[in-house]
Structure 1
């Protein structure tokens, strides 16, 4: 009987995915972009004053920070000029150098989809044109911020749609801007579209393959923030992004992890995440994610609902949130709570 129940739960989950329940659209299978950035081979063949350059594949962000700390301004600029895609994606490299390198890298692609990322004043902390493209953008002064937040988005986000036309408080860049406005000038917020997300809802969104690859990248990214002296971040994880955060939780130094519109975190309870971060969860009353079965069986599904009473997270009221993407809507109690969490005012 127990096996029959699990089988029926799995079948129900598959039916949700295949039948596009509650507004889900069918998705195409995606291949995760992993490994060091484009241009790594040329980077490794280069030297500075006869010294080898740190290998992007295995040098830690701390090692990268120490390497750049030992270079003068001229040597840094020469590396930027010769290897913008690598310098711009090296976690642990100086922030201003990465911003300039990524502006050059975006322009060098000649791809109209990414042209707006090179606009004056934008602070692009990471850019990878492979696949659908990945990007991380900073809102605020990350070098001087007292508080740091990282927004980890869910499906259908990439470098081209990162700041696409949609409601201003939705999408990675929109969420980050809105949170920064609510939290104030001493907070920096990063929109981290730094992994290959599912497209629509097909099998990719029901399994953890893309999330596993994304968790590795997220853990390294947060280590890079630590290497340049940024405060421990608060992670804000939306929808499938909460699966990424669940798998990365034990490998980050985040002070808090906030999940909302979550299908699960690949865990049955908060304790299974093995993290010292405070865990917060919100789910709005009209969010269609509630129609997704909270099961994990034979690789399908992402486990228990983090906003459920038994999971062990701190609950955030979301009664005034509309739909699946309304969690950052100005004036909502949820956005006010999100801002209070990053500022350390809600514990």
Structure 2
């Protein structure tokens, strides 16, 4: 009976979303890619410390104890590990990922790249080491290493609007749902993503002490909601959110300011804000009972229009990223 009920709720959620998205295909369920970086076996065989047992601060200390030549040797011999090791020097990570990603992101600063599964990647816009302010954009469904166009548009628009002292990170380093289906209606992928986001932000703090602002789009807001108690951030912005797996702001257990944005043309508004038997993501963050600060979004269009140049929402996002809002 419980399985039957879960199926009915999932079907209702999927049908509601599909009706508002001009026929999205039903989703494909895939397990998240987790664990140590690709190439860890060879790294360990070379007598190097286990990446899974090192904190970002320990990673910082490890690389600080190496000569520049030894650092470059590790980039050449173990790019899959160095490029995905939170706390490793940014220049080394960029160099390592340039080797593993090849021409795919030519000329871009690639902070993480993992080709396994559908692939994951993290791109950086601006000088992350010296930025006074840092913004991290966490995407939703159908984002992976080969499908970054929408995320890149959001990140680059935010970077341009926020100005030169703000670095923006396009963080596609978790396994996202594909289409609309059970994965999009449950929290399994979000839980794995939240763990990865927590580790990434800990590594980020090791190279730049500025607390970031998180801009979490669609299913990405589920990830951010689950990660909220464990991360330090100035602001947490839920954009086009199906829910954050929390009844209200207090339930997020975060010291960050919490914001929410949803435009009246967004199909996400027709997704039931339910939470039953593990399905659904709970209260709409733009509902007054949730208690978030509301970002003006009346001139955004559709599910992906919030970062469009000239919109009220992008202007507000830029002010939040710069720390101009109290």
**Same topology, TM > 0.5:** yes
Match of 2:64 among 58, 61, 69: 69
Partner deviation per Cα, 1:33-83 (whole Å, 9 max, x = no partner):
000111101111214xxxxx3322121111101111111101100111100
Q: Give SS of 1:258's match.
A: strand
Match of 1:56 among 51, 55, 63: 51
How far is 1:229 from its partner?
A: 2.5
Q: Following the alignment from structure 2 to structure 1, what is the Cα–Cα distance between the partners of residues 157 and 99?
A: 27
Q: Following the alignment from structure 2 to structure 1, what is the Cα–Cα distance between the partners of residues 36 and 223?
A: 19
Partner residue, 1:292:
271
Q: Following the alignment from structure 1 to structure 2, what is the Cα–Cα distance between the partners of residues 187 and 249?
A: 22
**Structure 1: unaligned runs, 5 residues or longer:** 1-6, 48-52, 108-114, 164-170
TM-score by length of 1: 0.89
Q: Give SS of 1:91's match.
A: coil
How far is 1:251 from its partner?
A: 1.1
Q: Within 5 A, what are the aligned runs for 1:66-215? A: 66-107=61-102, 115-117=103-105, 119-120=106-107, 122-163=108-149, 171-215=150-194
Partner residue, 1:111:
none
How far is 1:21 from its partner?
A: 2.5
Q: Give SS of 2:145's match.
A: coil
State the Cα RMSD in Å. Answer: 1.6
How far is 1:25 from its partner?
A: 2.8
Aligned length: 320
Partner residue, 2:29:
29
How far is 1:127 from its partner?
A: 0.3
Q: Following the alignment from structure 1 to structure 2, what is the Cα–Cα distance between the partners of residues 281 and 241?
A: 13
Aligned 8 A contact 2:29 2:178 in 1: yes
Partner deviation per Cα, 1:167-223 (whole Å, 9 max, x = no partner):
xxxx11111100000000111000000000001001100000000000000000000
**Structure 2: unaligned runs, 5 residues or longer:** none
**1:322 counterpart = 2:310:** no
Partner deviation per Cα, 1:142-180 (whole Å, 9 max, x = no partner):
0110000000000000000113xxxxxxx1111110000
Partner residue, 1:228:
207
Q: Following the alignment from structure 2 to structure 1, what is the Cα–Cα distance between the partners of residues 208 and 136?
A: 15
Aligned 8 A contact 2:128 2:208 in 1: no
Q: Following the alignment from structure 1 to structure 2, what is the Cα–Cα distance between the partners of residues 281 and 270?
A: 11
**1:15 counterpart = 2:1:** no
TM-score by length of 2: 0.95
Match of 1:268 among 235, 247, 255: 247
